[in-house]
Chains A and B, each alone.
Chain A
Amino acid sequence: MDNLLVIGIILAMMIVLLLAGLYIHSVLLASGIIGLILLEGFGILPGLLGNEPFNRVASYTLTTIPLFVLMAQFILQSGLVQDIFYMVHKVSKGKNSLLGVLTLIIGGLLGAVSGSGTATSASLGQVAIPELRKHGYSAPLAGAVAASGGSLSGIIPPSIILILYGVATETPVGSLFVGAFIPGILTMLVFIAVMLVYFQLGKKKQQATQEEVTEDAAAEEKVPVLRLIIASIIAVAIVFIIFGGIYSGVFTPTEAGAVGAFVGLIAAFLLGKVNFAFFKTSLIETVKLTGMVMIIMIGAQIFGRFVSLSLLPRRLIEWIEPIMDTPALVLIAISIVLFIMFMFIEGAAVILMSIPVLLPIIVELQVDVLWFGVFVAVICTIGLITPPVGLSVYAVAGVSGISSGSIFRLTTVFALVAMVVVTGLMIAFPGLATWLPNSM
């Protein structure tokens, strides 16, 4: 069947299935499989369906997903983060907006030890949402803060996306990491600004009821000083071990997942929280989240194979040929195309299928390949919180029970603002990404 016709049918089918409420992984699997059958016939399936699930999962780099989630579980079950949020609440003297700011900053800090936005979002969702809810944040806003804070792992180094890009384009991964630092911080600041606007709007809407909620929350949270001191020491120690270990070379960012989980376990042990129930909850939750992320990745992989074979990315690129002599225009066009692709498809798959097509254009435009890598990672990070395929939002929805639709309504705004501001600034001032790596 003609490629364009198949692409049309499959895109329409995807939208219908998504709206009907089919599981995301099933939408990806069904669209991918039916697309492949329409495109190539049944004969193409054995070679792609048989091995992809195993190959996708059997990856050392992906150990970060279960292990960072496990770390979050251990820390969550130990009560440590609640204590810290309690302290922060005290420090902010009832300024609840600061709690959201802090959650996003913690998202950024977690991003500096995690390579995967999805795993971080899930962790952040578990730890932060109950606290945010107690302090006047609506469920969707709390979910949006956790999802966007967690998505920052995609751009703040280390980042699996930057690693994939580095490998695909033969760009030094270390330089990419350094280059992503400033745009990563910038993205975080944009998220904070948008969050503050939403928080103020929400506060005006329900001022009367909120006051009571806050007072109740503060009253029930009397924590002994000694425990707070121990909690602070342990928290500082965890951050120190993970950051220190990575940046001194004792372990790689991937191994940090395991070390972090282990340190989390020791912390829980010191706080006297380790028992059978502790393990049961931590392990089941970890396997649930890991299974959720991985089954979507398997679906995305098979859908990605269909997209590759349909030559859809190349068609998209062909459309922008006429504007090649205006680089800024091409870059804006590329960012829109990528934005749309990252909306629908899991990030790593987009990188893998678009780079072979985009890179020649970038080279021809004489755009810095390192700069472009950081640029793509920013859009990819934003893609983690845009519907219909926004893994960070699904991770948060999965752990919190908040509906993904209601979170998406807010994160889409987060995404659009970050898209315009961060990518706009990067196009206007390329030095934001290239200055640091060049001066080191």
Chain B
Amino acid sequence: GGGESEGGGSEGETITLRAATGLSAQHAWWEASMVPWMERVEELTDGQVQFETFTGGELVSVPDEGDALQSGTVDVALVLPIYQPDQFPMAEVTMLPLNHSDTLIASNAWKKLLESEEELADGQTYTEMQFGDFKVFPVSTTQEYSISTTGKEFNSVSDVEGTSLRTPSRIHEMYAAKTGINSVTMPAVEIYDALSRGTFEGAFYSIADWTGYGFQDLFRYTVTGINFGHFNAFIGMSQSRWDELPENVQEAMTQANEDIFEAGAQEWMDRAEAIIPENEENGGKFVEFSELDQEVQDHFNTGIEDTWTDYAKLLEDNGLPGNEVVKMWRDLLIEEGGEVPEAVMNLE
């Protein structure tokens, strides 16, 4: 395995862990969750645990963090399972579109989903089924995804249909297909250039994440009050590496995660709050979903309902408990204060 874990077993010896992310060092997950977590672990263990950090794909690129943990290239990493639906097909559940939620609601629901003891299928919990090889520390989800365009407005259903938007996940592809949106995929690094020259018209994106690609300078029209899911992540270790750690370190890591969790979620909301006025100053417009034409609202809502059932069916077709997992996610969200369309409420 990686890292200079001198001994690793007994208490008291210094343990140096190699920590990595493919995301940039300024990304909210790294800056506001992973870094505080590492600092807290160092604090709680009185410096017994030290971290050697690698960001921005310096050692591991997105989405290879999970593989790097299993091969021992790194000891601990931010894992983004939605990028690998072939390996973690049920991770995308947090990307299902909703009527209402915020970062705190979704983060708490995601944490509860990961920590749930409830059997999902075959005597296994959600985490055992999806992330059985990992020790999982939940971190916040992203802020909710919105639809933003470089100027195109959704005043009628025909405006929505045929609009080219960049889609970040399989669920958004499904949603786009349902609502007649033309989905564009493109490497993240090319989006700014292509958007600014009008190669396509907008994207599904979380406002708090705009600055990563300079979108605050480009988007002029954003629909709020409807949300296109939350991207998720967790701080992961390989189960075998985790088992090698002394008990006091394990306890410190668990405690540290509890300590940093909420502030990590709050960061997304703070970032969004700072970006919105900046974007408005540049001529950006934020439109409340409930103020859109009723037909447009219905069009979007039907899309939401269909996406839930389609996703569940997709999982079921692959022998996974799709119906159970979407219901579990729905219930956790509602418990935390989220809202979904009536038809999703009625899913049985």
Contact = CB atoms under 8 A, between A and B. Distances in A.
Interface of A: 40, 43-44, 46-48, 50-51, 55, 59-61, 158, 163-164, 166-175, 177, 246-254, 305, 308-309, 311, 352-353, 355-356, 359
B95 interface: no
Given A356-B54, A356-B58, A173 B24 contact: no
B236 to A, nearest CB: 15
A158 B189 contact: no
B155 to A, nearest CB: 23
Given A167-B24, A253-B193, A61 B55 contact: no
B193 A44 contact: no
Contacts of B73: 44, 47-48
Nearest to A305: B59
9 contacts: A47-B73, A51-B64, A170-B214, A172-B217, A174-B192, A174-B214, A250-B199, A252-B193, A309-B59
Contacts of A169: 24, 26
A356 B212 CA distance: 15
A353 B60 CA distance: 11
Given A167-B24, A170-B24, A252 B190 contact: yes
Instruction: List the 7 shortest-distance A-B pairs measured between CB atoms, nearest first.
Output: A172-B214, A47-B71, A249-B197, A47-B73, A249-B198, A163-B189, A173-B192
B341 interface: no
Interface string B116-147: 00000000000000000000000000000000
Q: B2, B72, B73 — which one has the most chain A CB atoms within 10 A of its CB?
A: B73
A59 B190 CA distance: 12
B197 A356 contact: no
A153 to B, nearest CB: 16
Nearest to B194: A252
Contact of A175 (B25, B52, B211, B214): B214
Given A169-B26, A253-B193, A51 B56 contact: no
Contacts of A167: 24, 188-189, 212-213
A116 to B, nearest CB: 14
Contact of A168 (B24, B54, B190): B24
Query: Secondary structure of the B side of the interface?
Result: loop
Contacts of B199: 249-252
B255 interface: no
Contacts of A40: 2
B57 A352 contact: yes
Interface in B191-219: 192-194, 196-199, 211-214, 217
B1 interface: yes
Nearest to B74: A47
Contacts of A252: 186, 190, 193-194, 197, 199
Contacts of A55: 61, 64
A65 to B, nearest CB: 15
A135 to B, nearest CB: 38
Contact of A164 (B54, B189, B214): B189
B72 A171 contact: no
